[in-house]
Amino acid sequence: MRRSPSVLARLVRAVLAPVLVATAVLAAPTPAQAASLTQVSGFGSNPGNLAMYAYRPDGLPTGAPAVVLLHGCAQTANDYFSNSGWRKYADLWGFALILPQQNSGNNSTSCFNWYQSGDTTRGQGEALSVKQMTDYARSTWGTAAGRIYVSGLSAGGAMSSVMLATYPDVFAAGSILSGIPYACATSLVAAYSCMNPGVDKTPQQWGDLVRNAYSGYSGSRPRVAIWHGTSDYTVATANATESRDQWTNVLGVSQTPTSTSSLPAGTSLETYGDDVVRLYRISGMGHGTPVDPGSATDQCGTAAAYFLDTICSAYRDALFFGLDGSTGGGGDPEPGTPAAPTGLTVTASTAGSISLSWSAVSGATGYHVYRNGTKATSSPVTGTTYTDSGLTAGTSYSYAVSAVNASGEGAKSSTVSASTTGGSTPVCVTASNYAHVVAGRAYQSLGYAYALGSGQKMGLYNTFYTSTLKQTGPDYWVIGC
């Protein structure tokens, strides 16, 4: 059993407010629902030394989805199961819950070790243990391979980032609650800087950290929802923006939202690209999982320490994941339409074309391809490959695929990004962020500079912070050259 260095206990107690949540007792089952949270043993080699708990509603069929829930520091799997609200929707819409549990032998305050490379690398430690739990669910319960999701709070939110980055071939989507971008820290000391005041990197730098987590992977990437309270003083709110920068870059969409909307409890929702990234900012909320106790469909959870009575995040995430019956999430297809395709992959790229392939969907009679959120196919293609031609050289594109049958068009797949080759020699300029703004290559907001067009965050707006910008189109600049 691994032991954390003694400094861990001292520093965590000094800096983190422990999540003092008493282990909740499961409510007595009703005659219609006898299922309960159960520990599962023998799920794999378990190199991260985690415990596995699971909840499967009565009568759950083969092929049902599953959601992995990662608790916060000093919490247990039962705490998160009892208070987060996810059980309500597992019962209502029919999906399994998988709840990994940390132990004090790994971390003195039972935080997932999101900052230790041995636990955040594909094929190692805690990350592999969690992945083995999903393997067990598929092999033992018949969980749908293309419909596994992950969500977590605080250290669990940071670990959710880890799972999305290291296993994009396992998770279709995920959510990060009061969490931290992937690979922000690789040591305990650096972890505190990530938590507060946060670490500033460019979207490209953040995105590269995710891409390097599974080097050479060219398949589809999971969609991501980010939740953060504006009064969170444990994990600084800057982390919400940095996580947004990381995942929009990975998914190949702009850091400028395509839409914004207002939700209950002072919540604002920003969507990015074709709803591939969401950012929820909850006005006045501190550090915790947003819940909204009540009996309405969009209400859930129990208010407690670090379960904060604002808005039901489990409900919003379940809709985003498509667990209400909209399959791929982000849409509301008609009943009887096929599931969202999985396995979308870029197979080739030239100066004027990008070729794609994906896995066949049972019952589908054809497929539509979406480029940058807009349908690129006027009529369905009959196979599981497509070459998008007539493109601009040296340009990045984002793709998704939907399946169709006699009932209509189903939900879209996760997106994948690709770039055409060639193109003219780009214009590259290295200057201070102040000079970039004065020259019209960037703009400034709240003390930071952003590249014009792409909206990529360049760092502080002053004469001392230097950036290199590349022009890729009229009034469109990106970081790097």
**CB neighbour burial string for 445-474, b if at least 16 within 10 angstroms, e if fewer:** eeebbbbbbbbbbbbebeeebebebbbbee
Structure tokens at 378: 């006027």
Assigned fold of 345-419? Immunoglobulin-like (2.60.40)
Res. 346: pLDDT tops 60 = yes
In the chain, the N- to C-terminal Cα span, in Å, equals 46
| Pick among 3.40.50.720, 3.30.365.10, 3.40.50.1820, 3.40.190.10: CATH of 6-321 | 3.40.50.1820
For the chain, state the CA radius of gyration: 22
Residue with tokens 């129990």: 302
Who wins on pLDDT, 274 or 169?
Answer: 169
Q: pLDDT confidence of 334, banded at 50, 70, 90? A: low
Across 123-127, 217-221, 446-450, the highest mean pLDDT is recorded for 123-127
Q: pLDDT confidence of 462, banded at 50, 70, 90? A: confident
Residue 197: asked if its preceding bond is cis (omega within 30°), the reply is yes
Q: Could you read off the pLDDT of 42-64 as tens digits, one per residue?
A: 999 999 999 999 999 999 998 89
User: Distances from the Cα of 132 to the Cαs of 126, 129, 151, 158, 290, in angstroms?
Assistant: 10, 5, 16, 19, 28
Q: pLDDT confidence of 325, banded at 50, 70, 90? A: low
pLDDT at 29: 38
Give the pLDDT mean for 423-447. Answer: 81
Give the pLDDT mean for 415-432. Answer: 76
Question: Would the pTM count as exceeding 0.75?
Answer: no
Res. 72: pLDDT tops 70 = yes
State the Cα–Cα distance between residues 23 and 409, nearest whole angstrom: 45
Phi-psi sector, 408: left (phi>0), alpha (psi -120 to 50), beta: left
State the Cα–Cα distance between residues 349 and 421, nearest whole angstrom: 7
pLDDT at 176: 98
Q: Could you read off the pLDDT of 388-405 as tens digits, one per residue?
A: 998 888 777 778 898 999
Q: Which range has the worst mean pLDDT, 63-72, 149-158, 295-304, 468-477?
A: 468-477
Mean pLDDT of the chain: 87
Res. 14: pLDDT tops 80 = no
Domain ranges of the chain: 6-321, 345-419, 427-479
Strand order in the sheet with 385-388: 345-349, 354-357, 385-388
Amino acid at the residue 313: S
Q: Could you read off the pLDDT of 139-184 as tens digits, one per residue?
A: 999 999 889 999 999 999 999 999 999 999 999 999 999 999 999 9
Q: Which range has the worst mean pLDDT, 179-188, 233-242, 419-428?
A: 419-428
Say which residues have a Cβ less than 8 Å from residue 90's Cβ, sequence separation at least 6.
55, 57, 67, 96, 97
What positions carry a catalytic annotation? Answer: 154
Res. 111: pLDDT tops 90 = yes
- Per cent of the chain over pLDDT 90 is 62
Who wins on pLDDT, 457 or 392?
Answer: 457
Q: Could you read off the pLDDT of 368-385 as tens digits, one per residue?
A: 998 866 678 888 999 999
Give the pLDDT mean for 307-328. Answer: 87
